[in-house]
Amino acid sequence: MSGILDSRARPLRDLRISVTDRCNFRCTYCMPKEIFGRDYAFLPRAELLTFEEITRLAAAFASEGVSKIRLTGGEPLLRRDLEQLVAMLANLDGITDIALTTNGSALVAKAQTLKDAGLTRVTVSLDALDDDTFAAMNGVAFPVARVLAGIDAAASAGLAPIKVNMVIRRGVNDHAINQMAAHFRGSGHILRFIEYMDVGATNGWRMDDVVPAAEIITAIDRQWPIDPIEPNYPGEVATRYRYRDGAGEIGVIASVTQPFCGACNRARLSADGKLHTCLFAAAGHDLRSVLRQDATEEALAAHIRLIWGRRADRYSELRRAKTPRRPKIEMSYIGG
């Protein structure tokens, strides 16, 4: 596939689009309620990209090699009529995969509509199976049963195999690793364990809170032997493993202890139209103003080429080298 390369010869293939900075959860690793309280100032509606603007930008990205789009937030299903955006994106030339990352709270109502509109896949965040531990992670005491019902609804709608993301924080939900594995083994869904990351500046991240991928894999392998398997595609963020007894696969996303910057082919578009070339970015590039100055698709594509061509991001590798930490944008703003 043709496309542009950054300064480290990484192609642009994957665009993650945040459609809102709002969320109905207050997960401690993303939007801690002590910071994102009732008086927190979210983006006003006028600053959000419209569906038409998102589609125009997505078309420009597609012309530069992007084939995969993932809709994120905040919680993307809080954006009204999101299925309309999915349908618009599904009609773009070059886009072959449209995915959604969600907390699952609205999936029962929305799964079939999204599938009918053209959604390809869904990833659901779920950090524990018991309500007390889940509440300690999500900050709002949302019941696990409703998330599981959303997963079932997505599967019934034909969005399987579903990926289930579990962020692991030591002393909070690390005891639930094998419980989650036991629940999703044989389900046809893919459970992915994510190391607690230092995204943004409000989640109180400490290295002591990180459960390394190697420890997670050891815990699983001790109970159910697993073997590593090849990535599905270049740049896949999760390291994949299969159960030897044929009960499916799991993945581990280890950006803290095993950085994968060298193969990163993802760009992120914030809800107000800023392009970020790294999850740990300190700033973004304003595409909304270019768009609202009636730029042509070629002009938009030229801006994208310029920004991506200069990209040299490798934050996780630098973090591992113990360089000083720098300011970073919150994950709820930039999308996961």
Indicate whether 322 pLDDT > 80.
no
Mean pLDDT of 6-30: 94
292 within domain boundaries:
yes
The reported pLDDT for the residue numbered 208 is 84
Q: Is residue 74 part of a domain?
A: yes
**7 in a structural domain:** no
Please state the φ and ψ torsions of residue 100, each to the nearest 5 degrees: -140, 135
Residues recorded for the chain: 336
9 found inside a domain: no
In a domain, 4, yes or no: no
Number of domains into which the chain is organized: 1
DSSP single-letter state for residue 25: -
Q: What is the mean pLDDT of residues 97-108?
A: 98
> Is the per-residue pLDDT at 198 higher than 90?
no
Residue type, 52: E
pLDDT at 1: 45
Q: What is the pLDDT of residue 205?
A: 67
Q: Which residues contact 239 (CB under 8 A, 6 or more apart)?
A: 213, 228, 231, 251, 252, 253, 254, 258
The parent domain of residue 85 ranges over: 14-334
Q: Report yes or no: 268 and 307 within 8 Å, Cβ to Cβ.
A: no
Residue 62 lies in a domain: yes
What pLDDT score does 317 carry? 67
Contact call for residues 19 and 240 (beta carbons, < 8 A):
no
Q: What is the CATH number of the domain that holds 206?
A: 3.20.20.70
Tens of pLDDT, residues 24-68: 999 888 888 888 998 899 999 999 999 999 999 999 999 999 999
Does any domain span residue 315? yes
pLDDT exceeds 70 at position 321: no
Amino acid identity of 67?
S
Closest C-alpha to 122, from 134, 138, 139, 105? 105
Question: 182 or 297: which carries more pLDDT confidence?
Answer: 182
User: Which of 25-34, 100-109, 117-126, 168-177 bottoms out in mean pLDDT, i.e. has the lowest?
Assistant: 25-34
* Residue 332 pLDDT > 70: no
pLDDT given for residue 315 in this prediction: 72
The pLDDT assigned to 32 comes to 87
Percent of the chain with pLDDT over 70: 92
Averaged pLDDT for residues 242-258:
93
Calculate mean pLDDT across residues 286-296: 94
- Can you give the pLDDT at residue 283? 81
Residue 279, pLDDT > 60, answer yes
C-alpha of 145 from chain center:
22
Per-residue pLDDT at 327 exceeds 70: no
Share of the chain residues as helix, strand and coil, in percent rounded to the nearest 5:
35, 20, 50
In angstroms, rounded to a whole number, what is the distance separating the alpha carbons of residues 261 and 249?
24
Angle between helices 82-90 and 51-63 (to 10 degrees): 30
Whole-number Cα distances in Å, 335 to 47, 70, 71, 104:
16, 10, 8, 16
Per the confidence metrics, is the pTM higher than 0.75? yes
The answer to whether 178 touches 134, Cβ cutoff 8 Å, is no
Beta strands in the chain (DSSP E): 14-18, 68-72, 97-102, 121-125, 163-168, 190-195, 226-229, 239-243, 249-253, 266-269, 274-276, 285-286
Residue 23 belongs to some domain of the structure: yes
Residue 334 CB-density burial (10 A; 0-12 exposed, 13-18 middle, 19+ buried): buried
CA dihedral of 128, 102, 190, 33, whole degrees rounded to 10: -30
Token pair listed for 159: 């969005």
Q: Average pLDDT, whole number, for the chain?
A: 91
Give me the percent of the chain exceeding a pLDDT of 90: 76
